[in-house]
Amino acid sequence: MKYYGFPIAWSVLISALTCSFHGAFLLADESTAATSAAVEKPLRLLFISPVIHEEFFLPVKKGMRDAAKKMGVEATFAGTEGVDTKAQAAMVTQAAKDGYDGIAVDIIHATDFDKPVEDAIAAGVPVVAFNTDDVTPNARLSTVSQNLYQAGRTVATRAIDFIPSGSEVLVTMHDAGVSALEERRRGIEDVLKQKGIKWTVVVSTPHPEKARDIITKTLKANPGIKTVLCTGQADTEGAGLAIAENFRGKEYRSAGFDLSPNILRLLDAGIIEFAIDQQPYIQGFYPVVQLTLLLRYGIRPSDIDAGAAVITRKEAKGVMGLKAKNYR
């Protein structure tokens, strides 16, 4: 008898193999789904900063959010209301305990962050610095920040051209004990010292209006001071307001750091001579990228200099639109 179909044994075997392959594919699909679920679970990153509501940090926060969206991670900006290094350092320790995958911290003190950062890294939580870096040895993996000392030297070197011969300079800081401001101040003072120019230092508070009042009082009490060189945003704005409201047209000059709307307005009006832009947007953007690449692919982060671009009256108007969008 001729047999036109497959033998029964072959039919059974093929049926069994089909089921096996189908089962294998089901298992493979389930495995892929599980892997995808694991990959899709976003990494959690935490930024820890002082004075978290200061206007300066708006571009940092935008940079952080933009990078988090591009990299598919969750990033949160937290910190202290004022300058409280102990509380900020404690937040690093707590973040590691709370299961964050990576931490970016504004290291504003030379020693207070050393142990918390070391402990977090030892626990498997990578830590990078942003905005301010501890200039002494520390365990953080990288920093995205300005070369603060050189930026201070840039301010003083450029200001030499308009400092009257034989006059004294007022150097301002909006807070005492902040390493970033101390480094900029050191850079400014080293240049003034080399040029034989005397200076007085005043702490003006992190509030521009209060800084204005303190700087105004200091200038009135010291008529030999015609130039104010500032180390941060609040005092730069305060110095500009002091000159605009009390010394306009009397050959007083000021220069400093950062680009708040008021600083840009005062630059455009010719009240502030120039301001140094430390590009805060990238200080929020690149730490997210660095931590994500490290956690996903083992790509080690490296230091990035945020720069010290000089913004004058000529550039002020062009920057205003970008500032309104928090890119500058």
Nearest Cα to 265, choosing from 246, 239, 237, 242?
237
Q: In this structure, are residues 70 and 126 in contact, taking their beta carbons and an 8 Å threshold?
A: no
Q: What percent of the chain has pLDDT over 70?
A: 88
pLDDT at 206 over 50: yes
| Domain 148-277 in the same topology as domain 44-146+279-307 | yes
Residue range 231-284, pLDDT digits in tens: 999 999 999 999 999 999 999 999 999 999 999 999 999 999 999 999 999 999
Residue range 276-311, pLDDT digits in tens: 999 999 999 999 999 999 999 999 999 999 999 999
Burial of 4 (0-12, 13-18, 19+ CB in 10 A): exposed
Q: How do the domains of the chain map onto residue ranges?
A: 44-146+279-307, 148-277
Measure the CA angle with vertex 234, ends 78 and 229; round to 5°: 135
* Structural fold of domain 44-146+279-307: Rossmann fold (3.40.50)
CATH code: domain 148-277 is 3.40.50.2300
Which pLDDT belongs to residue 37?
41
Which pLDDT belongs to residue 39?
54
Long-range contacts of 267-271 (CB under 8 A, 24+ apart): 267/311, 267/312, 267/313, 267/316, 268/313, 268/316, 268/317, 268/320, 269/244, 270/313, 271/240, 271/243, 271/244
Residue range 90-111, pLDDT digits in tens: 999 999 999 999 999 999 999 9
Whole-prediction pTM: 0.81
